[in-house]
A and B are shown apart, each in its own frame.
Chain A
Amino acid sequence: MSALLEVKNITKVFPRVRANDGVNLTVEEGEIHAILGENGAGKSTLMNIIYGLYKPDSGTLKFNGEILNLSGSHEAIEKGIGMVHQHFMLIPVLTVAENIVLGSEPKGISYNVKKANESIIEISKKYKLDIDPEAKVKDLTVGLQQRVEILKAFYRNAKLLILDEPTAMLTPQETEELFAIMKDLAKKGISIIFISHKLEEVMAISDKVTVMRRGKTVGTLNTKDTTEQELANLMVGREVVLRVEKTDYKPGNVVISVKDLSVVDMQGIVKVKNVSFDIHEGEIFGLAGIDGNGQFELIEAIMGLRPKKSGTVSMQGKDITNLTTRELYKQGISYIPQDRQIDGLVLDFSVAENLILREYNTPTYARNGVIQYKKVYENAKIKVQEFDIRPTDYMLKARGLSGGNQQKVILAREVGYNPKFLIAAQPTRGMDVGAIEYIHKRLLEMRDKGSAVLLVSLELEEIMSLSDRIGVIHNGEIMDILDGTTATREQIGMLMAGSRYDSNAREAK
């Protein structure tokens, strides 16, 4: 095998940040090479340099034995570098074929539909990427849309394929399929750069791993000679506790009880169908599901942010179905919303103000309608320390904090109330190993203190490692509720996809 891509000593400096600092990377032909690193480690910068979107300040890029001096992604594509972005660049109303050939259509006076379709069928056969060229992209599943993106690269004769967090939007089954495709492509001599922050995926699929930290490549390892623990430590730069230790499950009384809850959206489409579950003191109830299956509508309805069509919610026996959001908070409910920048924080408020976003008008902070800023700052000082929010200047706007620290601000606000019931929606989305470890620890602490926790996450790994019981939601319905200690990935995956894994056994019950 020979090196297809050689990155030598690449440095790229942005105002105030050395995004890439002497980066080295060698990718062999037919190799699946994982790039692992926390957010802000410089993975995306490096990929954008390889893909011609950024020019490096210094260093060289050698591809196929030729030194590249790219001045745009079109040149990278010409040389045989393809990239599938995390967010697909597809036009939903066009067909698969139209999307693939867009920009380099078969020549002729008008667009040659037949020729386009033929060439796509040919490529999809060659790479075993089955797809109907005449299907509209909007009708495809996320997994198939990704396949269209990959085909787009091969239509342009890619020899190197960069996949940026390709599994973020996929179900476990779709991930398996993608991995099978990747292995097959590697066998055919295609090199793949696989960007991820999920350790188990890197271990499962890659031949080599390059770990990045703070703009530097800190090491390249053979996957088979390393462990998840070693990679995590390299990524963070210290010993990391990967799997949080959980104390025994000792459920108490029912705290929250949802009965036959249905939610209809503005267009009258049913988003949540007759959902029922209980959550106990000292319990984490995980709600697993693929994005868009009603899990977020469900919690918004519980929180009074969305009208409920029918059903009831009660807390410790008291009916709280029709309370307003503010009244619900007063009952001792806390809520970590899924989008910290849109729902959780006022980005142009200071950290101190964000920490009291819910409590600014309570007697603790306000007297006769006047906010006691001295108390606000005292609170901020304590919370910044207790939750290790950085930078520690609480007068800074929340906008200036990293994602992890923004989430800590929300966590400090919500967990600080010692809630009886905590809803955590995607509490670690887009965060890196160190921050995830911290947040998981905090959630388990809440549980051990006797709170009831509803954890909604699209990361199966997260649900499985934290939950005492797991509810799986599909198309607005709870498919089943499983025991957190015995449930398997496959079981949950099948339920997430909408099929009851063992219908006979269920009926027998």
Chain B
Amino acid sequence: MKNAIKELYVPVLSVIIAIIIGSIIMIITGFNPITAYVSLFIGAFGSVNNIANTLANSVPLILTGLGVAISFRAGLFNIGAEGQYWIGAIVGVWIGYHFQGLPWYIHIPFALVAAMIAGGLWAGIIPGFAKAYTGAHEVITTMMMSYIAIYFSHFLLEFGPMMEKGSIPQSPKIQASAVIPFMVKNTQLSYGIFIALIAAAFVYWLMFKTTWGFEMRAVGLNQRASKYAGMNVPFNIVLSLGLSGMFAGLAGAVQMLGVQHRLYDSFTSGYGYTAIVVALLAKNNPIGVIFAAILFAALGTGSQLMQLNAQVPGQLADVITGLIIFFVAADKIIKLFREKFAKSSKEEASV
């Protein structure tokens, strides 16, 4: 319990400092920070619909965030969650519209599992093996694979094999049997949220309670000691990148089956990149990922009302996001503050 509080210290303090600096920026630029934050909060959590939309936005962030957190735990920087998300989305949508007459309880799991496998292979096969056996850096390979995935989707949708008849670059709609139904009417929140929550619990169990998780964490913290203890280091590199891609792929499929129902041509979903921030803020703790994802989702949904009510540009939410990342990444700064504070209070006590 004490450890949990200690773990929360930096993320929570980062968010608070970011909010404070955000208000200073608003005051300087002539906005009222209180109305801004109030409307930001109402926009995100003010009504059932707002809460539902915030949670809906958090689903792909939780799943991609879990993927990135797994790789970070294993000491690998999977930067390509975005591409793995796209691969999952492509496979999920294709299975969603291509197969007809399947009952939902087969169709949905089929699409999700296939998307996970595809995402897992996308991250595990090339970046994983390249890292394990040639040392090729995963930051480069996952990033490049990410571009390939995104441009592959353009190829498929822009007069390619997955384009719907007509002139709009988008895929056909998935069958009704593949749709994950909405939970709250007129919002984007589907039952996919439960998939995300179960996934988070599963990843927590996998990483902290199983021998596989033990190995991946050991390899992530100290490859040499892991090797000396008899672990198969290359296998664990492939495994953790593969698992990482599986959850990013799942994110893509859940978003398709639950929210979009078809694949649109687009440059980026943004989820795969925000996932990195989510994992960082959560300090790679799968349960923390849920809360970090909800926070960033709330900043996204709330910023619209903030812009409307307080006339504060929505980009300010991005500024706050950036500040949070800065302080999480630079947690040494926060530790320094804490030490300074601890020291001065101690000195006062000793006087």
Contact = CB atoms under 8 A, between A and B. Distances in A.
A329 interface: yes
B332 interface: no
Contact of B221 (A303, A343, A347, A373): A347
Contacts of A357: 218, 225, 229
Interface string B184-226: 0000000000000000000000000111101101100110111
Given A353-B214, A369-B211, A343 B339 contact: no
Contact of B211 (A325, A335, A342, A360): A360
B267 interface: no
A346 B228 contact: no
A349 B211 CA distance: 14
Interface string B112-127: 0000000000000000
- If over half of A's interface residues share one DSSP class (helix, strand or loop), that class is named, otherwise mixed; here it is loop
Contacts of A199: none
Nearest to B212: A369
A491 interface: no
A358 B230 contact: yes
A346 B230 contact: no
Contacts of B230: 324-326, 328-329, 358
B225 A343 contact: yes
B210 A345 contact: no
A89 interface: no
Interface string A419-463: 000000000000000000000000000000000000000000000
Given A326-B230, A329-B230, A371-B210, A15 B221 contact: no
A476 B343 CA distance: 53
Contacts of B231: 326
A370 interface: yes
Contacts of A345: 222, 225
Nearest to B211: A361
A160 to B, nearest CB: 34
Nearest to B205: A370
B344 to A, nearest CB: 12
B218 A370 contact: no
B207 to A, nearest CB: 11
Interface in A26-81: none
A366 B211 contact: yes
Given A326-B230, A346-B222, A347-B222, A370 B214 contact: no
A305 interface: yes
Given A346-B222, A347-B222, A335 B228 contact: yes
Contacts of A371: 209-211, 214
Given A353-B214, A360-B211, A371-B214, A346 B227 contact: no
A348 interface: yes
A161 B343 CA distance: 36
A337 interface: yes
Given A15-B339, A305-B227, A335-B228, A370 B222 contact: no
A373 B225 contact: no
A346 B209 CA distance: 17
Nearest to B230: A326
Max chain A C-beta neighbours (<10 A), residue from B3, B214, B215, B217: B214
Interface in A306-345: 324-326, 328-329, 335, 337, 342-345
Interface string B222-243: 1011111111100000000000
A442 B231 CA distance: 27
Contact of A342 (B3, B210, B225): B225
Given A15-B343, A347-B222, A373-B209, A325 B227 contact: yes
26 contacts: A305-B227, A325-B228, A325-B229, A326-B230, A328-B230, A335-B228, A337-B228, A344-B225, A344-B228, A345-B222, A345-B225, A346-B218, A346-B221, A347-B222, A349-B217, A357-B218, A357-B229, A358-B229, A360-B214, A361-B211, A361-B214, A369-B211, A370-B210, A370-B211, A373-B209, A395-B3
Given A305-B227, A345-B225, A346-B225, 10 more contacts: A15-B339, A15-B343, A325-B228, A335-B228, A337-B228, A342-B222, A342-B225, A366-B211, A371-B209, A371-B210
Interface of B: 3, 209-212, 214-215, 217-218, 221-222, 224-232, 339, 343
